[in-house]
Amino acid sequence: MGNVIAYSLFTDFDINLFKSGKHYRLYEKLGSHCVVLDGQNGTYFAVWAPSAESVSVIGDFNYWNEEEHQLNVRWDSSGIWEGFIPYVGKGSTYKYKINSKITPENIEKADPFARRCEHPPKTASIVWEDDYHWDDEEWLKNRGEKNNLKAPYSVYEVHLTSWKKKVEENRSLSYFELAEDLVQYVKKMNFTHVEFMPIMEFPYDPSWGYQITGYFAPTSRLGYPEEFKYLVDKFHENGIGVILDWVPSHFPEDAHGLGKFDGSCLYEHTDLKKGYHPDWKSLIFNYERNEVRAFLISNALFWLDQYHIDGLRVDAVASMIYLDYSRDEGEWDPNVFGGNENLEAISFVKELNETVYLNYPDVQTIAEESTAFPMVSKPTSIGGLGFGMKWMMGWMHDTLDYFSKDTIYRKFHQNEITFSLAYVFTENFMLPLSHDEVVYGKNSIIGRMPGDEWQRFANLRVLYGYMFTHPGTKLLFMGNEIAQYEEWDFQSSLDWNLLEFFPHINFQNYISDLNLLYKENKALHEIPFSQEGFEWISYDDNENSVMSYYRKGDNEKDKLIVICNFSTNALINYRIGVYKEGILEEIFNSDASKYGGSNVVNEDPIETEQVLFHNQTFSFITSLPPLGISVYKYQ
């Protein structure tokens, strides 16, 4: 068939695994791979297109002529077309020209397994391989200590193309530039992890990366694949883990993408009730098809393997596991048991998590799941979905709603701010203040705060102080840490000019210190998902809008006392019951003058008294700052 030489990277065992949906390293076989055959350099191409009549590789090496390089279909009914093309090498652009048995239309598709794609709006794939030398052996060797569920886990969520821009050139920072600026910034702010909104190639900027066409290629907007590896490497060099947003829930209908790939519904479900997402106008993967499951799980492992990624935050899990997600009556069909659960999607999610943790036990998968679906972060062996953590959306909504209320009304809503502690230990929860909360007219976080400017910043400090002392891991979206007033705009840089003003500089320093408090005190991170790590002192002082609690680690000496005052009144001579006698030291106070507060702090050690209070044998008297949080520790 033209200048294509019969050749294969697949063994019979590979094909059997592929058909059964158990081949989890498909990126080593499908796609384009530079090889040497009989002393001749060239590229091996392989693509899955079972409904094709013929498949050609068209590219800059054959003037995009479909007659020149037609692939051979395998004899084993796998639907894989393959072949070796001499002289084609790294940097060659190409697509697959597919003549379908189903439709008369000529179909041109990008390679689903391409390691690099053209810069949008161009849509071709690029033959690519690199010999990047990693320098993160030390990180990978000790990653289990930094990445486990007892370690501090404070995540800075970043949209790479809008974090910071070169103003004079009106462009985003490249991967290389981010490896200097962003890495040092995250380190300075004392975050333990960074999370990138999707960096897989995507055609449409307003999708923020959530509509993916190049699942195996980091976006070319910011540089080459090896330059993205360098960025990850730099984070690891500085002791910071890297999490990727990953989207196995849906994909766009762009002509060069996965939709109707070979004229048939190959990757998407054939039934629109299961295969089309009405909210996002996108196609939904067919979790019933073995080869599609293998594609997705291979993609998850690809980023962990080839890019040394430390965690995957799985987007829109609820949309996958519910048949009636965002659908009215009559727009969905119940499962075989009459329920609304998508049994195949649930099965896929379990298989995904089992495979990830089997191969990479020191990474984390994190579910963005917005419902009360049970046991999302419990092991599959006991019926759970198998994620390491789950976003605590209920906490996020209740907290932002509470803090948006005028302080004089908060005493009537004390149960809203304490309610999360009634269910916080049902899952391994991550507390997120994410990008979704600062767009589409919701206002910025500080924009929600009531009162004058001083009260807004004080509210913001106590909100984050409460967040970082609440059980669970943490996530902040970029801009939250400098109290950005404007909503996030994906086309613009963050408002770094705000740091010319003391309230914003002080707040940035506050977040850095809060991360340090969280990292350095085991009581705040050692038992984040169990009742043993938390104990109420008082939750019912709604008249003063005060609540107090213990945070506990494995060792009793690490125990902390946390007091939150959500009112604008400084409360002098406020008594708190404690479990033992001793001398207490205030180790953190959000009202300190260095943070822009009114400096109602307790600099001197405080001795407990044998006075029964809060059902405790001992108690102490202290001063509570207005709109402030205080943290105490026994000397």
Q: Residue 188 to residues 195, 592, 631: CA-CA distances in angstroms? A: 16, 20, 23
Helix (H) or strand (E) holding 275: helix 272-275
Q: Which amino acid is at 365?
A: T
Instruction: Say which residue the tokens 């702090």 belong to.
Output: 601
Torsional class of 10: left (φ above 0), alpha (ψ -120 to 50), beta (otherwise): beta
Are 484 and 456 in contact, with CB atoms under 8 Å apart?
Answer: no
Closest-CA residue to 194 (of 245, 143, 135, 150): 245
What is the spatial distance between Cα 378 and Cα 549, in angstroms, rounded to a whole number?
Answer: 26
Are 558 and 526 in contact, with CB atoms under 8 Å apart?
Answer: yes
Please report how many Cα atoms fall inside a 13 Å half-sphere around the Cα of residue 555, on the Cβ side.
5
- Supply the angle between the helices 453-469 and 502-520 in degrees, to the nearest 10: 10
Are 165 and 493 in contact, with CB atoms under 8 Å apart?
Answer: yes
What is the spatial distance between Cα 548 and Cα 69, in angstroms, rounded to a whole number?
Answer: 71
Vertex 613 angle, CA 607 and 619, to 5°: 5
- Residue 508 burial (CB count, 10 A): 18
Contacts of 247 (CB under 8 A, 6+ apart): 198, 200, 210, 212, 315, 316
Contacts of 441 (CB under 8 A, 6+ apart): 487
What is the spatial distance between Cα 220 and Cα 301, in angstroms, rounded to a whole number?
Answer: 21
- Residue 555 burial (CB count, 10 A): 10
Q: Is 530 exposed, middle or buried (0-12, 13-18, 19+ CB in 10 A)?
A: middle
Q: Residue 397 to residues 354, 400, 401, 445: CA-CA distances in angstroms? A: 31, 5, 6, 12
Are 553 and 522 in contact, with CB atoms under 8 Å apart?
Answer: yes
Contacts of 330 (CB under 8 A, 6+ apart): none
> Annotated catalytic sites, by residue?
315, 368
Evaluated on CA atoms 460, 532, 585, 608, the torsion sign reads: positive
